[in-house]
Amino acid sequence: MKKYAIAIHGGAGTILRHLMTAEKEMQYHQGLLDAITAGELILNKGGSSLDAVEAAVISLENFSLFNAGKGSVFTHKGMHEMDASIMDGLTLEAGAVSCVSHVKNPIHLARIIKEKSGHVFLSGLDAEDFAYQMGIELAGDEYFYTQERFDQWQEVKDSDTYQLDHSDKKETGEKKFGTVGCVALDQHGNLAAATSTGGMTNKRFGRVGDSPMIGAGTYANNKTCAISCTGHGEFFIRAVVAYDISCLIEYKGLSLKEACDFVVKDKLVKMGAEGGLIAIDAYGNIELPFNTPGMYRAWKNSGEETKLRIYE
Amino acid sequence: MKKYAIAIHGGAGTILRHLMTAEKEMQYHQGLLDAITAGELILNKGGSSLDAVEAAVISLENFSLFNAGKGSVFTHKGMHEMDASIMDGLTLEAGAVSCVSHVKNPIHLARIIKEKSGHVFLSGLDAEDFAYQMGIELAGDEYFYTQERFDQWQEVKDSDTYQLDHSDKKETGEKKFGTVGCVALDQHGNLAAATSTGGMTNKRFGRVGDSPMIGAGTYANNKTCAISCTGHGEFFIRAVVAYDISCLIEYKGLSLKEACDFVVKDKLVKMGAEGGLIAIDAYGNIELPFNTPGMYRAWKNSGEETKLRIYE
């Protein structure tokens, strides 16, 4: 069997051990394990990295503690507006969607956009029309309702402030960038990346972050790497983070680790941008850099153990 | 006086001399001249490149022969959905908007998003709410109505096909990527870029192209260059065209001309992607590469004559 590798994330932020209960930590570990297993099963059987990243992100979207799919945060209007994107490193084909409210698995919609729409990026209610026409599973507002997210929204909904997931939660100091993602290398040597998010609590005005933006939140190219980001999206857009790492490898000759460290721990820090990302290259090297206290993450190389981590 | 420079485009495509009337050609020249003059007046007085690119693009949006602002094409539903973005090469701050239907000058909204929203990218009806709250001029459907665009839409509205502006017009073979943009260098050495579009005739499902995507359709960085693209947006997104040129300069040491030629005339051609772009660097070098028969364009360096061109 040829080698394969996979990494996932469930968001970065001020995730501190002393604020976590043992029970919650176990739940997060379970969510990460289920997702990486869903992706790895596909890779192990010789399936494509594209199928693997989609399967892992669907699992993360269905797990209600992460801010994507079920578990997405509430907007200012009390809705859920989700964004997602996926990219195939072999063909450089990509699909992306923003501001959909009733699609159970936005990453699956992004995949179908890539394959059947003739476009890369669809948005809003009209994108839901496309999902409906494609027979993609829709879900009502009640599916996306979770008590914890509702309570987070209630705390801030009468203000003009928004929360980056749990950001600025006064009693805990917690600050979390709620996004999920997966990158994978399959046995055929192909890379893929996928990212999905429920955005920011109390967000207004149809704000779009980096998650659905090819080059910013998601990028994959067999020649260089596959990347999925999580962080303060406005900075990640301006820094074109995912493609920047690819260019540092392709044009400047940096290694995956050098490129990741430079962008996340130097460039983004100088911009005042918090977050992290997961990265993989065609050799199966995996990097999971972040400049916050924690990032929910798991990774596995074929023939090795699965690693699950939350803190630094 | 220190040197300054400016370039604008009104879209690339199958623009052929034998299909153009002398009268229409004069109108296009006038539209280009008005826009570049609007930008140049600002640069000449020592104003900022950011003000100049906004003023030039507003002029292009107000000119009904170009597909942006007034003159935008019709969507499948008989609406106008416009996208725009702007970036400041000094601060790397950016603003972008997609799928707005009632904003007279989307590029002005993008500028205000950059400066007042706390975000980079807003979309849809909620972005129009933001525009309304900011006191930005809105306009009804009748403002955006033009007979020529309506007739284009009528030709294809009962089909599933969409047109990239005039694309595949059978009787003429014309194919045009309707987008406008401007890049500028001001006397303080600062670069800026702006892009605006009315999208594709008969477009569906809230399709978003490269124009509002920082890194794809628009990018500016004093260290490297400012870029505004026009072309088949799906390919420009996947190739992250604008930031790619910046990276080729910054990481690989290419000149502006080498980077532009490689991306537009080699990389995009190999992908099957048609289009072009305008580019400027901090030395006042201007490039206007395209791989289609024509691109509406004008450029000027301080102390030199204004050049207006349509064909190769």
DSSP string, A191-253: EEEEEEE---BT--TT-B-STT-BTTTEEEETTTEEEEEEE-HHHHHHTTHHHHHHHHHHTT-
* Catalytic residue flag (residue A179): yes
- Is A235 within 8 Å of A273 (Cβ atoms)? yes
Closest by CA to B86, choosing from B7, B194, B180, is B194
- Is A105 within 8 Å of A86 (Cβ atoms)? no
Q: What is the nearest CA distance from A130 to chain B, expressed in angstroms?
A: 6
| Average pLDDT over chain A, rounded to an integer | 93
Q: What is the number of alpha carbons within 13 Å of residue B124 lying toward its C-beta?
A: 19
Q: What is the nearest CA distance from B308 to chain A, expressed in angstroms?
A: 32
Is A216 part of the contact surface with chain B (CB cutoff 8 Å)?
Answer: yes
Is B239 part of the contact surface with chain A (CB cutoff 8 Å)?
Answer: yes
| pLDDT reported for residue B174 | 52
Q: What is the nearest CA distance from B305 to chain A, expressed in angstroms?
A: 34
Q: What is the nearest CA distance from A214 to chain B, expressed in angstroms?
A: 7
Tell me which chain B residue has its CA closest to the CA of residue A129. B205
Catalytic residues of B: 179
Tell me which chain B residue has its CA closest to the CA of residue A118. B234
Distance set, CA A198 to CA A67, A129, B213 (Å): 5, 19, 20
Quickly list H helices, chain B.
22-44, 49-62, 106-116, 124-133, 141-144, 147-156, 233-238, 241-250, 256-262, 268-271
Per-residue pLDDT tens over the stretch B104-135: 999 999 999 999 999 999 999 999 999 999 99
Q: Find the CB nearest B240 among A119, A206, A215.
A: A215
CA angle in degrees (0–180, nearest 5) for B129-B132-B134: 110
Asked if B244 lies within 8 A of A244 by C-beta distance, the reply is no
Closest by CA to B61, choosing from B27, B34, B42, B25, is B34
- Proportion of chain B above pLDDT 70, given as a percent: 95
| Average pLDDT over chain B, rounded to an integer | 93
Q: What is the number of alpha carbons within 13 Å of residue A129 lying toward its C-beta?
A: 11
Per-residue pLDDT tens over the stretch A117-160: 999 999 999 999 999 999 999 999 999 998 989 988 888 888 76
Per-residue pLDDT tens over the stretch B179-209: 999 999 999 999 999 999 998 888 889 999 9
Asked if B238 lies within 8 A of A127 by C-beta distance, the reply is no
ipTM rounded to 2 decimals: 0.94
| pLDDT reported for residue B195 | 98
Per-residue pLDDT, averaged over B260-276, amounts to: 97
Distance set, CA B119 to CA B123, B138, B194 (Å): 11, 21, 17
Tell me which chain A residue has its CA closest to the CA of residue B208. A121
Least reliable range by pLDDT among A41-55, A150-164, A286-300, B52-66: A150-164
pTM, full prediction: 0.95
Q: Find the CB nearest A121 among B94, B207, B244.
A: B207
Q: Which residues of A touch B163 (CB under 8 A)?
A: none
Q: In which band, very low, low, confident or very high, does the pLDDT at A109 lie, cut at 50, 70 and 90?
A: very high
Asked if A126 lies within 8 A of B206 by C-beta distance, the reply is yes
Q: Is B100 helix (H, G, I), strand (E, B) or coil?
A: strand
Per-residue pLDDT, averaged over A8-32, amounts to: 92
- Which is the catalytic residue, given A75, A179, A197, A230? A179
Per-residue pLDDT tens over the stretch B24-62: 999 999 999 999 999 999 999 999 999 999 999 999 999
Edge-to-edge strand ranges of the sheet holding A218-221:
A218-221, A225-231, A275-280, A286-287
Domains in chain B, CATH or no CATH each: 5-302 (3.60.20.30)
Per-residue pLDDT tens over the stretch B129-168: 999 999 999 999 999 998 989 988 888 888 766 666 544 4
Is A237 part of the contact surface with chain B (CB cutoff 8 Å)?
Answer: yes
Give the phi and the psi of residue A165 in degrees, each rounded to 5: 55, -115
